[in-house]
C-alpha cells in the first residue's frame, strides 16, 4: 500500500510495472486508491458512468469535478490520480525551475507526481487532452503556511503538461457551480442503479407524459404524480426516469437556479 512508510525506488518500479497510473477507459488504473493516501476531506469511490470502472477521489471537490466531467457530453474518458511519467521528466523540470522535487516521506525516493483529473474531450473530429488540478482555495492562499510549497509543486505539474502542449487548469471551489453539482449528484444515484434498467423501455412514454404535465408553477411532486397515473408506474419509478432523463439531456431542466426539490416548482433551462 502506498501510504506505508519507507517507500523505495523498487516499490515505485513495481507499481508502474503493475500499470498504476496508466491505461485508458475501463482498463485505466489510478496511481493510488483512496485507501493509499490521506484524503483531503471526504474520499469517494464511485462507479463511472462513462468508463464503467470505479473512480477514486480524495475530496468532495475532486468528486464535484468528476460529476461535471461525466455530465459534459464532449468528455469521453476520465482518468484520476494520473501519473506524470517518467519521474525523470518531472525531476528535470524541477531542477530547471530551481525547485526541490517532492520525495516520499522519510525517504530520498522521488515521488511519482500525479494530476487530479485528466480528461479526454471530443472537439469536432479530434480528441484532445485537458487536465484539471483541483485545490481548495485555502491551500493556495499566500496566508496558508504551506502555500509556497503547494505552488512550487503546481508549477512542476503545469510545466510538465505545457511541454506536451496540453491545456492545464487550476480549479478551486470558486470555479464549481455548486447548485448544479448538488442536483446532478442527487440524480446520479438513479443512473448507476442497474436494478432500475427495466424502466428504460418506458422512457419515451414518460417523456411525453412529463412534458404535457410540466407547468411553470407545478411542483416536481405534482408532475410526477400526474405522470405516474398516466403511465401506470409508481411515483418513485417516475422519479428514477426523471433523474435519468435529466442526465441524458432528454429534459431541459434548469440545474443552476436552485436545488431540485419535490415540493418546489421545476424550472426549465433557457
User: For residue 2, which phi and psi values (nearest 5 degrees)?
Assistant: -75, -10
Residue 1's pLDDT is: 43
Percent residues over pLDDT 90 in the chain: 91
Model confidence pLDDT, tens digit, residues 157-215: 999 999 999 999 999 999 999 999 999 999 999 999 999 999 999 999 999 999 999 99
The shares of helix, strand and coil residues in the chain, as percent rounded to the nearest 5, are: 45, 20, 40
Contacts for 13-19 with beta carbons within 8 Å, 24 or more apart?
A: 15/112, 16/83, 16/85, 16/112
Asked if residues 153 and 147 have their Cβ atoms less than 8 Å apart, the reply is: no
**CATH architecture, domain defined by 9-175:** 3-Layer(aba) Sandwich (3.40)
Please tell me the distance from the alpha carbon of residue 110 to that of residue 9, in angstroms, as a whole number: 8
pLDDT given at position 190: 96
Tell me the three state secondary structure of residue 110.
strand
pLDDT at 39 exceeding the cut of 60: no
Three-state SS annotation for 158-193:
HHHHHHCCCEEEEECHHHCCHHHHHHHHHHHHHHHC
CA dist 115 and 121 (Å) reads: 16
- In the chain, where are the structural domains located? 9-175, 178-247
Instruction: Give the mean model confidence (pLDDT) for residues 19-48.
Output: 85
Give per-residue pLDDT as tens, 128-158.
999 999 999 999 999 999 999 999 999 999 9
Q: Is the pLDDT of residue 4 over 70?
A: no
Output the pLDDT for position 41: 59
Strands in 75-83's sheet, in edge-to-edge order, are 75-83, 114-123, 126-134, 167-171
Contact 150, 140 (CB under 8 A): yes
Its pTM stands at 0.92
- 163 vs 130: CA distance, rounded Å: 14
- Which residue has cell 488540478? 133
- Residue whose entry in the numeric block shows the C-alpha cell 503546481: 154
Amino acid at each position: 500500500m502506498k501510504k506505508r512508510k519507507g517507500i523505495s525506488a523498487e516499490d515505485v518500479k513495481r507499481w508502474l510495472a503493475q500499470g498504476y497510473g496508466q491505461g485508458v477507459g475501463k482498463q485505466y488504473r489510478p496511481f493510488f486508491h483512496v485507501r493509499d493516501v490521506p484524503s483531503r476531506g471526504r474520499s469517494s469511490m464511485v462507479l463511472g458512468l462513462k468508463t464503467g470502472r470505479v473512480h477514486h477521489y480524495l475530496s468532495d471537490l475532486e468528486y464535484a469535478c468528476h460529476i461535471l466531467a461525466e455530465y459534459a457530453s464532449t468528455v469521453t474518458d476520465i482518468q484520476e490520480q494520473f501519473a506524470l511519467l517518467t519521474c525523470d521528466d518531472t525531476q528535470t523540470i524541477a531542477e530547471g525551475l530551481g525547485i526541490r522535487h517532492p520525495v516520499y516521506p522519510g525517504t530520498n525516493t522521488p515521488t511519482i507526481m500525479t494530476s487530479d483529473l485528466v480528461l479526454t474531450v471530443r472537439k469536432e473530429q479530434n480528441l484532445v487532452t485537458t487536465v484539471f488540478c483541483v485545490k481548495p482555495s485555502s491551500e493556495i492562499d499566500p496566508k496558508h503556511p504551506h502555500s509556497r510549497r503547494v505552488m512550487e509543486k503546481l508549477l512542476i505539474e503545469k510545466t510538465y503538461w505545457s511541454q506536451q502542449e496540453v491545456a492545464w487548469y487550476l480549479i478551486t471551489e470558486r470555479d464549481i457551480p455548486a447548485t448544479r453539482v448538488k442536483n446532478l449528484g442527487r440524480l446520479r444515484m438513479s443512473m448507476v442503479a442497474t436494478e432500475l434498467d427495466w424502466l428504460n423501455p418506458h422512457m419515451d412514454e414518460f417523456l411525453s407524459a412529463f412534458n404535457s404535465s410540466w407547468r411553470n408553477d407545478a411542483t416536481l411532486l405534482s408532475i410526477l404524480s400526474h405522470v405516474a397515473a398516466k403511465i401506470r408506474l409508481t411515483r418513485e419509478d417516475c422519479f428514477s426516469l426523471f433523474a435519468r432523463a435529466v442526465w441524458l439531456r432528454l429534459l431541459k431542466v434548469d440545474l443552476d437556479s436552485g436545488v431540485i426539490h419535490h415540493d418546489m416548482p421545476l424550472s426549465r433551462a433557457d
